[in-house]
């Protein structure tokens, strides 16, 4: 089975940070996403409001850098929350558990924020993949000593660059 959701939008409210009895940080907020559809002059916009939850270190970082209106890209999983309300009725709703988040606000847009990726520490398999070198590559040749390289420099003092085409990744 596969449960993955990717959303880009703006936070609808400031982060609510709490700590579980175990000391784990839990941050809750909401995100608004929209899509435009239709053709010609009859364009419509549909906005969705989704509750999202961060855990552990990502909850603390989200609380530190994100505010209402912050633009973010989140990846996570859909979860069904169920509870009994004060009147005794069973209630439920879907929310997103954030596994990866990227802040999309620029430095000029939100001076108190910094950009970057944040990965939840509970699921390292969700972090960026590690790329390995193909096995067919030849080992790198040792570079010549500095004195030899300096002797080969042209008159305009720009160093000569020796590029092995097998080392170019594309």
Looking at residue 119, what is its pLDDT? 40
pLDDT digits (tens, 9 = 90+) for 134-154: 334 444 455 555 555 555 544
pLDDT digits (tens, 9 = 90+) for 155-166: 555 556 666 666
Q: Taking 60 as the threshold, does the pLDDT of residue 16 lie above it?
A: yes
Looking at residue 41, what is its pLDDT? 85
Looking at residue 130, what is its pLDDT? 33
Q: Where are the beta strands (DSSP E) in the chain?
A: 5-11, 16-19, 25-39, 42-55, 71-84, 90-103, 116-119
Phi, psi of 133 (to 5 degrees): -75, 140
pLDDT digits (tens, 9 = 90+) for 32-58: 999 988 888 888 999 999 999 999 999
Looking at residue 89, what is its pLDDT? 95
Question: Please, what CATH class does the domain formed by 5-126 belong to?
Answer: mainly beta
């Amino acid at each position: 089975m596969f449960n993955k959701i990717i959303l880009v939008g703006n936070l609808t409210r400031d982060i609510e940070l709490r700590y579980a009895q175990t000391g784990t940080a839990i941050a809750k907020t909401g995100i608004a996403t929209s899509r435009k559809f239709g053709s010609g002059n009859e364009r419509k916009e549909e906005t969705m409001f989704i509750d999202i939850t961060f855990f552990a270190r990502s909850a603390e970082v989200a609380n530190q850098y994100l505010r209402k209106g912050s633009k973010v890209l989140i990846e996570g999983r859909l979860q069904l929350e169920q509870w009994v309300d004060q009147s005794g009725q069973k209630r439920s709703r879907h929310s997103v558990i954030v596994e990866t988040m990227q802040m999309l606000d620029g430095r000029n847009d939100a001076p108190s924020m910094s950009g970057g990726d944040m990965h939840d520490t509970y699921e390292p398999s969700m972090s960026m993949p590690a790329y390995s070198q193909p096995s067919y590559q030849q080992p790198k040749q040792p570079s010549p000593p500095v004195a030899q390289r300096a002797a080969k420099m042209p008159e305009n003092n720009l160093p000569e660059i020796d590029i092995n085409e097998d080392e170019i990744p594309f």
